[in-house]
Amino acid sequence: MLSDEPSLVERLLRHIAEIGTGTCSITDNSIAAERDPNVQQILAGLLMLHEDLQYAQQRQTLLLQDLREAVRARDDFLSIASHELRTPITTLTLQVDGLSRMLHDGAPAQPEKMARRLEITRRQVDRLAALVATLIDVSRITSGNMQLTRSLADLAEVIRSVTERFGEELARSGSTLDLDRQGPIWGNFDVSRIDQVVSNLLSNAIRYGRGKPIVVGARSLGTMARFWVEDQGIGIAPEHQSRIFQRYERAASSTNYAGLGLGLWISRQLVEAMGGMINVRSVADQGSVFTVDVPRAD
Ligand code: ADP
């Protein structure tokens, strides 16, 4: 007697075709309902194949999303970085052209004007050097090539020396600086990386500090050392406070404040590599305190 039921081969071919389109009508119940254990095994194998393929497809979708996100972040970064690099280069070109005219137009020497132009040139060269250093850090961190070099040092002294270097920038901004440290704070620190984090936080406090007083402090907390930078500037709204530690994330308007959105990300990576933590407390329009805790020794 001829049956209307599809043959085993037809059923298997149908299931294989389904799997090819990403669906599968085999269920645990339909497998259990089969009388022939060989058929049960074949169907279970097909169901497993379908599940494996689905899992691989989901992973591929996620990887593709990550990849698209990474390409978008890289493109954003390239456009911001090229803008940031172009600004000092434009200023440098103007200053160098001006200096060269002064030398060649036969007018009497104007040492004050030349000194002023040289000072602007120096500042722009520093700015370019800092930008390039930032780019090198980003590439080191993302490729996992950042290494710490610890040595016995007094953290209070490291912080004092950073603040000393910022004297001119502070004077230009109008902010005063109060150093609130109780030293010495001895520990095994990576001095140049600590210097970099303090410098990042202090240059932000100057940039976003509206010329108001700034406090830089340091304390020993048992096995940990703490330092902080406090300003009374534009502050950060609560919804932006965790975002600003991520790469390229900025909260301030780019019309009023230039920046790559990398300083805090780099600082956080460095502090975490040292086994420490960085956090912010801030009230919009009133100011911010960035606090860093790092272990004093390994
Ligand atoms: P940027 O180069 O943009 O300053 P950062 O990573 O150093 O990059 O900072 C990220 C963002 O965090 C800034 O764009 C700014 O919006 C905010 N921010 C950082 N420091 C301060 C501060 N002291 N006061 C107010 N906002 C700050």
Domains of the chain (ranges plus CATH)? 151-295 (3.30.565.10)
Q: Which of 97, 95, 76, 75 is nearest to 87 (CA)?
A: 95
What is the predicted pLDDT for the residue at 254?
72
CA-closest residue to ligand 1 atom 4? 259
**Which residue's alpha carbon is at the smallest distance from atom 8 of ligand 1?**
261
Mean of pLDDT over the chain: 91
Beta bridge pairs of residue 46: none
Question: Cα of 205 to ligand 1 centre, how many Å?
Answer: 8
pLDDT at 51: 94
Percent of the chain predicted with pLDDT > 70: 98
Pocket of ligand 1 (CB under 6 A): 204-205, 208, 231, 233-236, 244, 250-252, 259-265, 288
Task: Give burial (CB, 10 Å; 0-12/13-18/19+) of 94.
Answer: middle
Residue 265: C-alpha distances to residues 183, 239, 258 (Å):
28, 17, 16
The closest of 290, 133, 103, 107 to 196, measured between CA atoms, is 133
**Length of the chain in residues, anyone?**
298
Q: Quick one: what percent of the chain has pLDDT higher than 90? A: 69
Q: What is the pLDDT of residues 103-131, one digit of tens each?
A: 888 777 788 888 999 999 998 998 899 88
CA of 131 to the centre of ligand 1 (A): 15
234, 285 in Cβ contact below 8 A? yes
Flag whether pLDDT at 258 surpasses 80: no
2: pLDDT confidence band, cut at 50, 70 and 90?
A: low
Instruction: Please report the atom of ligand 1 found closest to the CA of residue 200.
Output: 7
DSSP alpha helices (H): ranges in the chain? 8-20, 28-32, 37-104, 111-142, 155-165, 167-173, 191-208, 263-273
C-alpha 253 – ligand 1 centre gap (Å):
10
CB burial of residue 155 (10 Å; 0-12, 13-18, 19+): buried
Q: What is the mean pLDDT of the segment spanning 44-63?
A: 95
Whether pTM exceeds 0.85: no
Cα–Cα distance, 146 to 130 (Å, whole number):
17
How far apart are the C-alpha atoms of 177 and 167, rounded to whole Å? 9
Tokens (6 digits) for 174: 């109008």
| DSSP assignment of 107-147 | PPP-HHHHHHHHHHHHHHHHHHHHHHHHHHHHHHHHTT---
Which DSSP state fits 223?
T
Give the residue whose CA is nearest to atom 19 of ligand 1.
204
Alpha carbon distance 186, 15 (integer Å): 71
Report residue 71's pLDDT band, with 50, 70 and 90 as the boundaries: confident
Rounded to the nearest angstrom, the distance between the alpha carbon of 191 and the centre of ligand 1 is: 23
Quick one: pLDDT at residue 3?
A: 64
Report the half-sphere exposure of 100 (CA within 13 A, side-chain side).
6
